[in-house]
Amino acid sequence: HFGSSVASYFIFLRWMYGINMILFGLTFGLVMVPEALMGKPYGSLPRKTVPRAEEATAMNFATLWDFSGFAQYSVLFYGYYNNQRTIGWLKFRMPLSYFLVGVGTIGYSFMIVIRTMARNANEEGGGDDTSFNFSWKMFTSWDYLIGNPETADNKFASITTSFKEAIVEEQESRKEENIHLTRFLRVLANFLALCTLAGSGYLIFFVVRRSQKFALEGLENYGWWERNEVNMVMSLLGMFCPTLFDVISSLENYHPRIALRWQLGRIFALFLGNLYTFIIALMDEINLKASCLLLISIFNIYWLEEEKIVKYNMTIWEASLYNGTIPENSTAPPVQVDPADVPRGPCWETMVGQEFVRLTVSDTMTTYITILIGDFLRAVFVRFFNYCWCWDLEYGFPSYSEFDISGNVLGLIFNQGMIWMGSFYAPCLPAINVFRLHTSMYLQCWAVMCCNVPQERVFKASRSNNFYMAMLLFILFLSTLPAVYTIVSIPPSFDCGPFSGKTRMFEVISETLEHDFPSWFGKVFGYASNPGLILPFILLMV
């Protein structure tokens, strides 16, 4: 009914659902379930217990909706996991499994995206499908084995749409245009698009700087808008800039398929600026809370100083349990303290994971509300008020909406980038994304069939989704950089997570080689990880 261009989005969504099912299986089966079944139970350690000061509100709906309280101190987030080398009767190596699953999900994603692109490239090398195109469609399109009326109606709509696509292709191939005017309009359109991107970037920079000033002066002194200014401005830019790009693209007079790619590229640049502005804002927020710079920045020395202060305060607190004296050869039984009363240090990994989960959930809710208000209520208004309005609402303003291919594709890609970037700190993210994609498939299918109309010019999409895949690969690369930098360069929190007590997260590999493998294997691994071998191997792969 809507052509191959709209169908390409749903095929891409279904493919993404399959990828996330694999990621969910890895994190759920090798991280969350072993910790829940074989790890120490809730309440046994301070990292697995809600602090006494938060117990009163730990089960409130607002607290759980914010992924704090009992949700924060559960297998959903990094900080809950213990640094014990082996757990349970299976001697399951939890820190090693957590590390390998985090690295393995990224490696699997790279492999499957590149493999899909290669297979699509081979499929695109097929024969010519333009010779006698209308004759083939006229005499060979119908399937005479169809015996169901609904299937026959769908086949009839499919053939009709394919004819419309073929007519657009034929018109574009025969179109004559003033080459000089076309070039001038395309240069003008690109200039306007660059001005829009630069303006939105400056606006975001200005708003982030203002939010830092508000945070330093105390957010409690400001109203709701000042506290949420960054999120609101980013949301408004993401809402109105694509519409502006769509108006600008009408100057270029491109083939609809080429116009879609230009539109995707411009919105991609806009969303990418929003994504990294979010990361910068998050880093500044963590700095203001005297914690670490998140992901791409140099590790802040103040975080290490705060950890030293917390450790010192914990030593004083432990000494106070013995009235200020701890005899060296004391035989007295140890003082029993409830884990909820034990002071604990900051856990920046859980804080980062919470931010990514909140962003994913809020983005999902925004998508669903947009479908219900922007598509469904608009269609209801046009359908029932058309009889009593001053003009024709169906063919004038506001009319029925078309399916926004570029916005939905890029929303899908950037949401997946959030999953790749945040799943190391929140193992529950792949499960949330599987639920989101599953519901989106059916909700958007319903919205398209009930509330949208086909595009004014239905065009034939390319036989592969390699343009979508190329953007997905780029986002995967950008999402991998912060996670890898965190693993390699930033010390983990000292009293939460599976890597607490280590200088760097990747030390779990050397620890496993030292304790679980023969000494000669450790030497071989050391030689294999030498930069003199790694660099030529990377060059060979490139």
Rounded CA-CA distance 174/168 in Å is 10
Which residue, 59, 81, 82, 79, is CA-closest to 70?
59
Sign of CA dihedral 235, 241, 243, 245: negative
Which of 66-70, 213-217, 420-424, 503-507 is most confident?
A: 420-424
| DSSP labels, 42-104 | TTSSGGGS--GGGGGGTT-HHHHHTT-TTTTTSTTSGGGS---S-BTTTTB-HHHHHHHHHHH
Residues of 296-324 as b/e, b for ≥16 C-beta within 10 angstroms?
ebeebeebeebbeebeeebeeeeeeeeee
Q: How many CB atoms lie within 10 A of CB 221?
A: 8
Instruction: Give the residue from 410, 160, 363, 143 showing the smallest Cα distance to 268.
Output: 410
Residue 19 is predicted with a pLDDT of 94
Dihedral angle over CA of 518, 522, 523, 528, nearest 10: 140
Instruction: Judge whether residue 334 has pLDDT over 70.
Output: no
Q: Yes or no: say if 426 and 78 are a contact pair by the CB < 8 Å rule.
A: yes
DSSP 454-516: --SS--PPPSS-HHHHHHHHHHHHHHHHHHHHHHHHSPPPTTSSTTTT-SSTTHHHHHHHHHH
Listed by start position, the domains of the chain span 4-125+134-175+301-326+339-502, 505-541
Q: Which residue has the tokens 């914010």?
A: 66
Q: Report whether 497 contacts 83 (CB < 8 A).
A: yes
- Separation CA 331–CA 329 (nearest Å): 6
d(CA 143, CA 404): 31
- Phi and psi at residue 294, to the nearest 5°: -80, 130
- The torsion angles phi and psi of 402, rounded to 5 degrees, stand at -95, 160
Residues 375-394, mean pLDDT to the nearest whole number = 82
Query: Higher model confidence: residue 306 or residue 214?
Result: 214
Say if CB 14 and CB 174 are below 8 A apart.
Answer: no
**Can you give 294-341 as a three-state secondary structure string?**
CCCCCCCHHHHHHHHHHHHHHHHHHHHHCCCCCCCCCCCCCCCCCHHH
Closest CA to 461 of 161, 213, 24: 161
Identify the band that residue 316 occupies on the pLDDT scale cut at 50, 70 and 90. low
> What is the model's pLDDT at position 434?
95
The pLDDT mean for the chain works out to: 79
Sign of the Cα pseudo-torsion (81, 83, 88, 93, in order) = positive
pLDDT of residue 252: 77
Tell me: pLDDT of 192 over 80.
Answer: yes
Closest CA to 507 of 491, 524, 523: 491
Read off the pLDDT of each residue in 491-514 and give the average, rounded to a whole number.
84
User: 462: pLDDT confidence band, cut at 50, 70 and 90?
Assistant: low
Cis peptide before 95 (omega within 30 of 0): no
Helix, strand or coil, per DSSP, at residue 107: helix
